[in-house]
Amino acid sequence: MILLSAFFFLEFLLLFFLSRRLTSRLLSMLGIRWYGLVFLPGILVHELAHFLVATLLFVRTGKIEIFPQTSVEGRVQLGSIGIAHTDPIRRFFIGIAPVLVGTSLMLWALFSLMPDSIDIGRFALLFFIVFELGNTMFSSKKDMEGAFELFIIAAIVLGALFLFGVRLPAGMVDGFFSGEVELVLRRAGVFLLLPLALDGILLMLTGSFGRHTSSG
């Protein structure tokens, strides 16, 4: 179970780095306008995830931008939403909302849309969903403002509870490591290989295209 969890985490971490590399390369190849059109569905899901969680946590939101823009510092901002000032806990969950929503939607698509036989239409839809969500769901530095402070506070609280002998009930631990959870992690780990392979192939193709263009 621990190995499955570690494998899933490593896959997720690798997907993060691959998506960052791929989106950066596509942005330089396509330009900001075409890039925005290609990833528009994923950007929309990303910003709506912020909006949904902020609304559920009773935090006021402002204008939503779903088209990429260049900031005054020269950095490309794929999308944005105004979030009112709030406490670190709610800010953290609003910040990671796209990761939680994107991962849930992507795994749902992989679980439910993966065809048992050759079905070009379902494969195309599945690849589109995985491509969009897998490359737009990760939170930006601005999304994660205040996360470091929250982690420090959580580490101090957990450390204090451990020193005072507070432990989780055995039944709760056994329930978490149940066979159902292990099955979900096993299948999720297998299905995450699809977006990893897709990003890896696209990185190789775009890299070859870039070398061919520069040599020509």
Distance in angstroms (rounded) separating the CA atoms of residues 8 and 156: 27
Look at 38 and 6; give whichever has higher pLDDT. 38
For 85, the token pair is: 């000032």
For 160-182, write each residue's pLDDT tens digit: 877 877 665 655 555 555 556 66
For 58-75, write each residue's pLDDT tens digit: 999 998 888 877 766 667
Name the β-bridge partners of 80.
Answer: 65
**Is there a domain that residue 119 lies in?**
yes
- For the cut 90, the answer to whether the pLDDT of residue 4 exceeds it is no
Distance in angstroms (rounded) separating the CA atoms of residues 110 and 127: 9
The one-letter amino acid code at 110 reads L
* Phi, psi at 66, each rounded to 5°: -115, 5
**Is there a domain that residue 38 lies in?**
no
- For the cut 80, the answer to whether the pLDDT of residue 28 exceeds it is yes
**Is there a domain that residue 83 lies in?**
no
- For the cut 50, the answer to whether the pLDDT of residue 213 exceeds it is no
**Is there a domain that residue 199 lies in?**
yes
Distance in angstroms (rounded) separating the CA atoms of residues 179 and 161: 29
- What does the pLDDT read at residue 44? 93
For the chain, what percent of residues have pLDDT higher than 90?
13
- For the cut 90, the answer to whether the pLDDT of residue 52 exceeds it is yes
- What does the pLDDT read at residue 215? 38
Look at 120 and 51; give whichever has higher pLDDT. 51
Look at 180 and 89; give whichever has higher pLDDT. 89
SS3 state at 81: strand
Residue 103 neighbours by CB distance under 10 Å: 18
- What does the pLDDT read at residue 26? 87
For 131-151, write each residue's pLDDT tens digit: 899 888 887 777 666 666 666
- What does the pLDDT read at residue 41? 92
With 0-12 CB in 10 A as exposed, 13-18 as middle and 19+ as buried, what is 157?
A: exposed
Domain holding 189, by residue range, is: 2-25+89-215
- For the cut 80, the answer to whether the pLDDT of residue 108 exceeds it is yes
- What does the pLDDT read at residue 86? 87
CA–CA distances in Å: residue 43 to residues 49, 80, 148, 201: 10, 9, 25, 22
- For the cut 50, the answer to whether the pLDDT of residue 93 exceeds it is yes
SS3 state at 64: strand
Look at 48 and 74; give whichever has higher pLDDT. 48
Query: Based on the structure, what is the number of domains in the chain?
Result: 1
- What does the pLDDT read at residue 111? 78
**Is there a domain that residue 210 lies in?**
yes
